[in-house]
Chains A and B, each alone.
Chain A
Amino acid sequence: MNLAIDIASWLLLAAGGSLMVVSGLGLVRLPNVFARLHAAGLADTGGSALLLLGMALQAGWSLVTVKLVLIGIFLFFTAPTAGHALAHAALLGGISPDDKGESEDDDEDDSPDGRGG
């Protein structure tokens, strides 16, 4: 039983960590601010949720789990607020959401088909 919980926790932690890496990769690869906001959403929702779940499985039923849940609830409610504020500010700042290509004066090795980084 303990082993099963450990394996589940390990899988969740690995998946969450990988999702964080993918989010960073998306942040580097995607072409403009609005597209990058979606990649940021990966870290804010999926990545944190999986990592917190994995840690909660490690902690078992205790106050530690309660704190993890509180962090999760807090991120769950603030992440979209910050994301929306950013998107709205970028929109008011004169960046066109329909711009499919590079945003202006982006450097050249940031092309959509380059791996980036």
Chain B
Amino acid sequence: MMLLACLLVVLGMALTLIRAVRGPTVYDRILAVNVYGTMTVMLIALLGFLAGRPDFLDLALVYALLNFVGTLAALKFFKHGHLGEER
């Protein structure tokens, strides 16, 4: 049953990737990458259960943190053209 959930999440990730490749605007791509990241968090957690190694959950937690920061950083970069060095 974990396997089925894994496969479903992977299918969702594939669909998300279609949107990331197609665009058309940069916001569509960032949105798609953000959702892709959320699904990756879930996939890592599910894989941890599938492999019987709950340590994977720590990776999922860290990936959730990175995904959030990464989305904001990418948005800020495309909005201002830099990450904040000019004040």
Whether, in the assembled complex, A5 has its beta carbon less than 8 Å from a beta carbon of chain B, the answer is: no
B74 CB to closest chain A CB (Å) equals 10
A13 touches B64 (CB 8 A): no
The size bracket of the interface on B is: 35 or more
Kindly state the separation between the CA atoms of A103 and B31 in the bound complex, as whole angstroms: 15
B34 touches A82 (CB 8 A): yes
B5 touches A16 (CB 8 A): yes
- Kindly identify, within residues 65 to 87 of chain B, every residue whose CB is under 8 Å from any CB belonging to chain A: 65, 68, 71-72, 75, 78-79
B5 touches A36 (CB 8 A): no
B72 touches A24 (CB 8 A): no
A62 CB to closest chain B CB (Å) equals 8
- Kindly identify, within residues 40 to 77 of chain A, every residue whose CB is under 8 Å from any CB belonging to chain B: 40, 43-44, 47-48, 51-52, 54-55, 58-59, 64, 67-68, 70-71, 74-75
* A contact face: mostly helix, strand, loop, or mixed: helix
Kindly state the separation between the CA atoms of A44 and B35 in the bound complex, as whole angstroms: 7
A85 touches B27 (CB 8 A): no
Report the count of interface residues on A (CB-CB < 8 A).
56
- Kindly identify, within residues 1 to 60 of chain A, every residue whose CB is under 8 Å from any CB belonging to chain B: 6, 9-10, 13-14, 16-18, 20-25, 27-28, 33, 36-37, 40, 43-44, 47-48, 51-52, 54-55, 58-59
B24 touches A104 (CB 8 A): yes
CB within 8 Å for A105 and B31 given contacts A13-B1, A17-B8: no
CB nearest neighbor in A for B44? A71
- Kindly identify, within residues 87 to 117 of chain A, every residue whose CB is under 8 Å from any CB belonging to chain B: 89-90, 92-93, 95, 103-107, 110, 116-117
Inter-chain pairs besides A44-B38, A71-B64, 5 sampled, C-beta below 8 Å? A13-B2, A24-B12, A24-B35, A48-B41, A74-B65
Q: Which B residues have a C-beta under 8 Å from some C-beta of A? A: 1-2, 4-9, 11-16, 18-19, 22-28, 30-32, 34-35, 38-39, 41-42, 45-46, 49, 54, 57-58, 60-61, 64-65, 68, 71-72, 75, 78-79
